[in-house]
Structure 1
């Protein structure tokens, strides 16, 4: 994924154990890379699913005193009324669309591709029928739990509320836990079941 003349390495990929008939594209959080998430998905691997964990370009991030770090877009602040980097979000969205288009060219239909992300990596312009699993630790010091629950409520106004699952994890800080990864695996299995010719 490239944007704004920023070169980034190829995504970390966990290939399907057999013919890939579905894909999960998962975006890491601020300052991270796709490698740790690829490792996490390898631990919950489903045989017909390919996992793609791209790496964000390195850029100065206003929130962190303009230090250079992997980021999908600039972050000006964490308060609900903070300005947003609209150009950066659009660039990240375009790069994500290019990844989806590549998988469609590889033979995976778009309805067999799940998008996911941690922390900074969120969905926009949802389709009304999509299914959402949103997970949040109730002890997250970086992205307060109330922001997660408010996001879930906002999503219910954009798509069918019956398609939204909001799960909280007691004592979980700004990270993932084994229970959450099992919930993610179950969600993927339900949304991307094997197809008849597998």
Structure 2
């Protein structure tokens, strides 16, 4: 699977000592998510030592919209937790993000334990599979308005349970109801994963300013500025 365009928010310091890969939701692009983050928090989107990467999912047929092409990380049989995951496209996406992480680690000279992966909605689901199945040793993972299906391959094949998890979800989300996100949280914590679940009040399937600022605060704890 070949990724689309990759967009970046560079660190303000000369040296990048940590990297964050932020995966967009279905039908969006890396540029679209970057613009959304900048719209919400402005200059605060630039961090002193963390470089943010916003990759773009490839155009692929997407079953929930009758097989029309869309920028999605993987296909889905339906937008519900009760259906199986589309394993072929999910595995392909996981391999592509694994390769991206390896490239970023080499290019920025940043070890895996200084790299965080996360995402919004579908992007968050892929981030979970990436951190707990495909790439050992990451610093952390975050999900915003995200999910896992009930019989997710992750729940049966999780390998790297020591990676901390940060989850946010809007209490008025009608596309991915908060009950779905809460069940995902319970399923993951029952595996032994240490996770925080933050309810975003009066919020639908969207990002909010205080949600992103809270995420940035968490990132500073997970990959703090290192003394030189």
TM-score (norm 1): 0.91
In 2, the alpha carbon distance for the partners of 1:36 and 1:47 equals 23
- Asked if 1 retains the 8 angstrom alpha-carbon contact of 2:10 and 2:46, the reply is no
Alignment of 1:1-198 (within 5 A): 3=1, 7-18=2-13, 19-39=15-35, 40=37, 43-106=44-107, 107-121=109-123, 122=125, 123-124=128-129, 126=132, 127-160=160-193, 163-197=194-228
Residues 61-108 of structure 1, C-alpha deviations (whole Å, 9 max, x = no match):
101111111000111112222122101000110011001101221201
In 2, the alpha carbon distance for the partners of 1:9 and 1:83 equals 26
In 2, the alpha carbon distance for the partners of 1:23 and 1:37 equals 16
Q: Which has the higher contact order (CA 8 A, sep 6+)?
A: 1
**Aligned length, in residue pairs:** 190
For structure 1, the 5+ residue unaligned runs are none
TM-score (norm 2): 0.79
Change (3 A) 1:159 1:11: farther
In 2, the alpha carbon distance for the partners of 1:179 and 1:67 equals 34
Where does structure 1 differ by over 4 angstroms across 4 or more consecutive aligned residues?
Answer: none
The range that moved more, 76-85 or 40-49, is 40-49
In 1, the alpha carbon distance for the partners of 2:219 and 2:32 equals 19
- Asked if 2 retains the 8 angstrom alpha-carbon contact of 1:46 and 1:189, the reply is no
RMSD over aligned Cα atoms? 1.4
In 1, the alpha carbon distance for the partners of 2:46 and 2:188 equals 28
- Asked if 2 retains the 8 angstrom alpha-carbon contact of 1:137 and 1:145, the reply is yes
